[in-house]
Amino acid sequence: MAKFEPVLFARINKPDSTSLTTYKADGGYARIKEFLSMAPGDVTNLVKDAGLRGRGGAGFPCGLKWTFLPKDHPGPIYLCINADESEPGTFNNRILMEKDPHQLIEGIIIACHAIRSSNAYLYLRYEYGRSYRVLDAAIKECYAAGLLGKNLLGTGVNLDIVLHRGAGAYICGEETGLIESLEGKRAWPRIKPPFPAIEGLFRQPTIVNNVETLCCVTQILYRGGAWFKSIGVPPDPSNPRDPGSYGPKLYCISGHVNKPCCVELPLGVTARELIEEHAGGVWKGRKAKAVVPGGISMGFLSDKELDTKLDFAGPGKVGCLGLGTAAVVVIDDQTSMVDVLFNCCRFMSHESCGQCTPCREGTAWMTKILTRIRIGQGRIEDLDLLMEVAGSMGIIPGTTICGLSDGAAWPVKNAISKFRGDFEEYINSKRATETSAQKLMEVH
Amino acid sequence: MSELSEELRLRIRQEFPKYPNKRAVTLPALHIVHDAMRAVSTEAIIGIAELLELHPAEVHDTMSFYNFFKDEKHALGNHRIWVCRSISCMLRGGEEVLEKVCNKFHMHPGQTSADGKVTLEFAECLGACEGAPCILVDDECHMDMNAESVSALIEKL
């Protein structure tokens, strides 16, 4: 296969890539007036027909989401940009915002036109200080150049973008948690329905889109839906509900590899290809024991599943939750899955919002059980107990409001079913690997 | 801690036109106060509530949800250092970095140095996994860190 030329990342290594002048010199905003003169429904159809699926984790078809808005609504309709990228292992949106903010802003302008919105709120996690400063400067440049504000470029379209900084909570990445947080409340996800497209931010129709999704929208408008569909994986004919996995995707690779990085490739590359050809192989000449396919909430691939295609359908075929954020974390063969799973459970327990009992209690107890194992007091029955707790929490068993809980349960289910030997050997050895660093954090 | 200064009140009011109601200014207001005063005191909560036309309990309810904001008993130092402990950093020695730095400066995670210069904390994924282990100094990320480079950064503050 010929080398793939990056599109979303085409400009990130250019000097001064963040300024409006260089973005325009590279052809940015060149056709924005033309796009704003299109009928909003035509823009939506273009994105829908391109087969763009949301890049934030769930993979919901983007154009279809836009069509859920009520017709002829008097407004206001809101667009929320989800830049609360907090899934462990994920950093693609940070690079997009730090290096090419105008590609995102152009996508926001186009999306707001499609959904007839004049108000966009960009919810940015607090930790992305550099992104904040770059975006703030880029938005100011746009206002000065008439690309934002009243009567945008004389087209009669109005649009304001407000940068809103979060305060370090993972749950704000869940779309209704994000909305609650924006409204000034604790980020407790809402019971759906009503979905945000019907009743979202400030009880108005709202669309929540991820940063990378909106950057794809910009590229689809310039290059066409057929271009987008020429990349990636078409639907599986044996599954009538599979919408396919089209377009380029930013894959993050981190953990035990020689060259951790973020690369743009057509959807559907294998985990092995990412590790061997793009991340310089597993570090220290070791082999991979396990690979996280798309952020820790998606579970684990075993070393025998490295040829799994990382498209929207691939990870599900080997028991993972899905593609998630396509953040690949490699774990080498010298690392115990007990330690890795403990880290995942501790994260989820720390980040559970506490609203639903199965999640609040489940994540805490799973962390406690794993702590017991890691101080050498584990029992073999603990593994079944972990599976029982994990099996009773989440949207899939129907016991919680949002999917955080499924994301907390999945790594447990995958780790114990795919690496049971690791856990049994650990428990039987009665060894203790809880480090003094971890004890320090317990005091906290 | 005293009431909100006129300057802070003005900066909070400047956020109002961005949102259709005042309650949505809760997080921006908390950030403005927290950043300037290194904590949000009970008096400050009452001050914010007055400006936003909310009950102080509503402001406190929101504030207490986000571990990010500290009350006056846990006021921050001049700078805040976060060491990432999530999976990609853990796999590349992030927890050991945190431990060595804690030992060197005789601090526990969450504590502020005696001279009030630095608060040291652990963080969940900072989104800079290509440069693991990574840390955040206030809101600026530093990648590919080790105990020595973190200590050097702290000593320069």
Inform me whether the C-beta atom of residue B98 falls under 8 Å from chain A C-beta atoms. yes
What local confidence, expressed as pLDDT, does residue A2 receive? 65
Rounded to 5 degrees, φ, ψ at B90 are -60, -40
Count of CB atoms within 10 A of residue A3's CB? 5
Same domain? A30 vs A147? yes
| Segments in A298-395 forming alpha helices (H) | 314-317, 337-351, 357-374, 381-391
Count Cα atoms within 13 angstroms, Cβ side, for A267. Answer: 31
Closest CA to A444 of B85, B22, B150: B85
Same domain? A60 vs A200? yes
Residue A2 lies in a domain: no
What local confidence, expressed as pLDDT, does residue A252 receive? 98
Q: How are beta strands A119-124 and A160-165 bridged, if at all?
A: parallel
Contact B87 A88 (CB under 8 A): yes
Domain with CATH 3.40.30.10 in chain B: 76-156
Q: Which tokens sit at A351?
A: 């980040």
Which 349-408 residues of chain A touch chain B by CB within 8 A? 350-351, 353
Beta bridge partners of A20: none
Closest CA to A408 of A218, A228, A242, A171: A171
What local confidence, expressed as pLDDT, does residue A372 receive? 95
Cα angle A87-A91-A93, degrees, rounded to a multiple of 5: 105
Question: Rg of the Cα trace of chain B?
Answer: 17
Same domain? A163 vs A200? yes
Q: How many residues does chain A have?
A: 444
Contacts of A132 in chain B (CB under 8 A): 139
d(CA A214, CA A102): 11
Same domain? A116 vs A28? yes
Nearest CB to B23: which of A184, A296, A327?
Answer: A184
The two most distant CA atoms of chain B are separated, in Å, by 49
Mean pLDDT of A141-153: 96
Count of CB atoms within 10 A of residue B42's CB? 12
Residue A7 lies in a domain: no
Give A208's contacts (C-beta < 8 A, 6+ positions apart): A79, A80, A81, A82, A175, A178, A179, A196, A200
Same domain? A88 vs A144? yes
Mean pLDDT, chain A, as a whole number? 96
Inform me whether the C-beta atom of residue A144 falls under 8 Å from chain B C-beta atoms. no
Closest CA to B15 of B28, B34, B5: B28
What local confidence, expressed as pLDDT, does residue A441 receive? 80
Contact B124 A182 (CB under 8 A): no
Number of H helices, E strands in chain B: 7, 4
pLDDT tier, A433 (very low <50, low <70, confident <90, very high otherwise): confident
Q: What percentage of chain A exceeds 70 in pLDDT?
A: 99
Closest CA to A313 of A234, A412, A375: A234
pLDDT tier, A47 (very low <50, low <70, confident <90, very high otherwise): very high
Q: Which tokens sit at A5?
A: 């030329």
pLDDT tens-digit series, residues A95-128: 999 999 999 999 999 999 999 999 999 999 999 9
Domain of residue A421 covers 337-443
Helix or strand (DSSP H, E) at A117: none
pLDDT tens-digit series, residues A249-300: 999 999 999 999 999 999 999 999 999 999 999 999 999 999 999 999 999 9
Mean pLDDT of A166-193: 97
Q: 3-class SS at A321?
A: coil
Same domain? A41 vs A135? yes
Contact A435 B99 (CB under 8 A): yes
| Segments in chain B forming alpha helices (H) | 6-13, 26-37, 42-52, 56-65, 87-91, 94-105, 147-156
Q: How are beta strands A248-255 and A327-332 bridged, if at all?
A: parallel
Q: Which of A281, A303, A332 is the last residue of a domain?
A: A332
Q: How many residues does chain B have?
A: 157
Same domain? A322 vs A344? no
Closest CA to A125 of A181, A180, A77, A176: A181
Letter string b/e over residues A160-174, b meaning 16 or more CB atoms within 10 A of that residue's CB? bbbbbbbbbbbbbbb
Mean pLDDT of A369-383: 95
Burial of B16 (0-12, 13-18, 19+ CB in 10 A): middle
Question: pLDDT at residue A340 above 70?
Answer: yes
Contact A440 B98 (CB under 8 A): yes
What local confidence, expressed as pLDDT, does residue A434 receive? 79
Give A270's contacts (C-beta < 8 A, 6+ positions apart): A306, A307, A308, A309, A310
Its pTM stands at: 0.96
Number of H helices, E strands in chain A: 18, 11
What local confidence, expressed as pLDDT, does residue A444 receive? 47
d(CA A421, CA A427): 10
Best of A185, A289, A436 to substitute, by most chain B Cβ atoms within 10 angstroms, is: A185
Residue A226 lies in a domain: yes
| Segments in A86-244 forming alpha helices (H) | 92-99, 101-115, 129-144, 175-182, 211-223, 225-229
CATH of domain B76-156: 3.40.30.10
What local confidence, expressed as pLDDT, does residue B1 receive? 44
Weakly modelled stretches of chain B, pLDDT under 70 = 1-2
Question: At B26, which amino acid appears?
Answer: T
Inform me whether the C-beta atom of residue B57 falls under 8 Å from chain A C-beta atoms. no
Residue A405, domain CATH? 1.20.1440.230
Same domain? A185 vs A309? no
d(CA A400, CA B114): 44
Residue A1 lies in a domain: no
Contacts of A255 in chain B (CB under 8 A): 87-88, 91-92, 129, 132
Cα angle A354-A359-A364, degrees, rounded to a multiple of 5: 85
Q: How far is A222 from chain B (nearest CA, A)?
A: 29
Domain with CATH 1.10.10.1590 in chain B: 6-73
Nearest CB to B87: which of A186, A202, A343?
Answer: A343
- Sheet with A160-165: list strands edge to edge: A160-165, A119-124, A78-83, A206-210
Residue A159, domain CATH? 3.40.50.11540
pLDDT tens-digit series, residues B50-76: 999 999 999 999 999 999 999 999 999
Same domain? A287 vs A359? no
Residue A112 lies in a domain: yes
Residue A258, domain CATH? 3.10.20.600
Same domain? A72 vs A175? yes
Inform me whether the C-beta atom of residue B92 falls under 8 Å from chain A C-beta atoms. yes
Mean pLDDT of A19-31: 97
What local confidence, expressed as pLDDT, does residue A429 receive? 93
Count Cα atoms within 13 angstroms, Cβ side, for A65. Answer: 21
Contact B87 A164 (CB under 8 A): no
Homologous superfamily of the B6-73 domain (CATH): NADH-quinone oxidoreductase subunit E (1.10.10.1590)
Question: pLDDT at residue A443 above 70?
Answer: no
**Total domain count, chain A:** 3
What local confidence, expressed as pLDDT, does residue A202 receive? 98
Residue A12 lies in a domain: no
Same domain? A303 vs A428? no
Question: pLDDT at residue A331 above 80?
Answer: yes
Report the C-alpha dihedral over residues B31, B32, B34, B37, rounded to 10 degrees. Answer: 170
Same domain? A109 vs A206? yes
